[in-house]
């Protein structure tokens, strides 16, 4: 193929205050700069879709309250991705290398080697493994289950968002690796709940069921939860708080119910006082020093059959023009496990 001289890149046109709208993003065509020493020309193959990206682009967000710089109006939409090196002036990453790193919603780019995390990890029939089982998804679940919650075999654990990328992995770590006494997942719909149980959960409760709160209580078999891995917030958290054991602990990993500007009220905060519950938020970037060892451990558990690698992602193909629409699937419950976008070339119509 000829070497590209321009890129198509999605920028933030109108920072959203609530849900993402058609005019939130704008697709631009820009010339690619010449390579300088240490630069590589990449073609993006896969993009990670993460709820956290939504927080980075929020309208009027105070940058002092974010853990990474926000995406400002006119900025490219940042995303972790996997790319192939087409041209290189880097001693680390020669032409033909497949790499992962902090990229953006674009098809081609010239990036410095400092933006590259390392070589992409591949598994048979899973060229995007660096974005799922060996990526931020697994490391986040690892940090929450082992470091923040310190789950033990005698614990009863609730995992909300259990059919999502992080939640589904947290279920497996808690039950299949640690052997927690009881692991109860929360997911949306019977099909997703059945899948969560296939991953190892003792029970999974459908939050869409009108009797959700009562069903969640029943799933605990008359006990209270020692540990909660929280990904959702809102009504799910309201139903969970009265079921946490005295001196129990909740790890707040995400709050997808509020990412589109919604602010569901939490009505059971007094439970935290009366039952002396510990709440701790955490961000995976606080765990960078243990990242390599976490990935190494996950690889071992995969070999032992304790962590699944088959059918644990939703991979959607898209041209660069369709990337925002695929990202929005995160907020409609359309994905099961990690949502990955595979970039494909646009075919010309005859």
The DSSP annotation for 54-72 comes to: HHHT-TT--GGGSSS----
Quick one: what percent of the chain has pLDDT higher than 90?
87
- Shared domain check, 228 and 83: no
User: Residue 23's domain is classified under what CATH number?
Assistant: 3.90.180.10
Structure token pair of residue 108: 């081609």
| 348 in any annotated domain | no
* Predicted confidence (pLDDT) per residue in 261-271, tens digit: 566 678 889 99
Nearest Cα neighbor of 229 from 112, 149, 309 is: 149
Distance between CA atoms of residues 107 and 98, nearest Å? 15
Split into its structural domains, the chain has a count of 2
Q: What is the CATH number of the domain that holds 176?
A: 3.40.50.720
Whether residue 117 sits in one domain with residue 145: no
pLDDT in tens, 120-160: 998 989 999 999 999 999 999 999 999 999 999 999 999 99
pLDDT at 260 over 80: no
What is the mean pLDDT of the segment spanning 10-38? Answer: 96
Q: Give yes or no for a contact between 75 and 61, defined as CB atoms under 8 angstroms apart.
A: no
> CA-CA distance, 295 to 118, in Å (whole number)?
13
pLDDT band of 350, cuts 50, 70, 90: very low
Contact predicate 212/190, CB 8 Å: no
Alpha-carbon separation of residue 140 from 175, 252, 321, 332 (angstroms): 16, 11, 30, 22
Domain assignment present for residue 1? The answer is no
Same structural domain for residues 14 and 44? yes
State residue 259's pLDDT score.
Answer: 67
Span 90-123, pLDDT tens digits: 999 999 999 999 999 999 999 999 999 999 998 9
Q: What are the tens digits of pLDDT across the range 308-339?
A: 999 999 999 999 999 999 999 998 888 999 99
Q: Give domain status of residue 350, yes or no.
A: no
11 and 45 together in one domain: yes
Least confident piece of the model among 202-206, 253-257, 320-324: 253-257
Look at residue 264 in the predicted model and tell me its pLDDT. Answer: 67
Same domain, 125 and 240: no
Verdict on whether the full-model pTM lies above 0.85: yes
Full residue range of the structural domain in which residue 158 is found: 136-287+295-303
**CA-to-CA distance for 51 and 45, rounded, in angstroms?**
20
Looking at the fold, whether 72 and 193 belong to one and the same domain comes out as: no
- The structure tokens 């707040």 sit at 252
CA–CA gap between residue 55 and residue 114 (Å, rounded): 24
Residue 176 — φ and ψ, nearest 5°? -85, -30
Q: Are residues 321 and 186 in the same domain?
A: no
H or E segment and range at residue 340: strand 338-343
pLDDT digit string, tens, across residues 56-70:
999 988 999 998 999
pLDDT of residue 61: 87
Residue 255: its pLDDT value, please? Answer: 86
């Amino acid at each position: 193929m000829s070497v590209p001289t321009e890129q198509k890149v999605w920028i933030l046109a109108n920072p959203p205050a609530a849900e993402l709208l058609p005019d939130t993003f704008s697709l631009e065509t820009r010339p690619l700069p010449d390579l300088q020493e240490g630069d590589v020309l990449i073609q993006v193959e896969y993009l990670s879709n993460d709820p956290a990206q939504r927080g980075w682009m929020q309208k009027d967000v105070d940058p002092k309250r974010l853990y990474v710089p926000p995406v400002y109006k006119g900025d490219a939409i940042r995303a972790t991705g996997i790319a192939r090196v087409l041209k290189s002036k880097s001693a680390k990453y020669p032409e033909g290398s497949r790499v992962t790193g902090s990229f953006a919603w674009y098809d081609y780019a010239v990036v410095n080697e400092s933006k590259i995390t390392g070589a992409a990890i591949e598994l048979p029939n899973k060229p995007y493994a660096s974005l799922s089982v060996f990526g931020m998804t697994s490391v986040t679940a690892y940090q929450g289950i082992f470091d923040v919650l310190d789950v033990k075999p005698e614990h009863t654990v609730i995992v909300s968002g259990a059919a999502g990328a992080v939640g589904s992995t947290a279920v497996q770590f808690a039950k299949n690796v640690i052997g927690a006494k009881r692991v109860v997942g929360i997911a949306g719909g019977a099909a997703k709940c059945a899948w969560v149980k296939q991953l190892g959960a003792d029970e999974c409760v459908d939050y869409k069921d009108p009797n959700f709160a009562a069903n969640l209580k029943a799933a605990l078999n008359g006990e209270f939860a020692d540990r909660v891995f929280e990904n959702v917030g809102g009504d799910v958290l309201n139903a969970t708080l009265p079921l946490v054991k005295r001196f129990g602990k909740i790890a707040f990993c995400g709050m997808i119910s509020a990412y589109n500007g919604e602010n569901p009220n939490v009505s059971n905060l007094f439970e935290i006082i009366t039952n002396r519950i510990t709440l701790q938020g955490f961000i995976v970037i606080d765990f960078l020093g243990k990242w390599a060892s976490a990935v190494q451990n996950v690889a071992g558990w995969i070999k032992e059959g304790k962590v699944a690698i088959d059918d644990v992602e939703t991979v959607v193909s898209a041209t660069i023009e369709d990337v925002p629409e695929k990202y929005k699937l995160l907020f409609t419950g359309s994905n099961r496990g990690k949502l990955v976008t595979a970039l494909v070339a646009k075919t010309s119509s005859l």
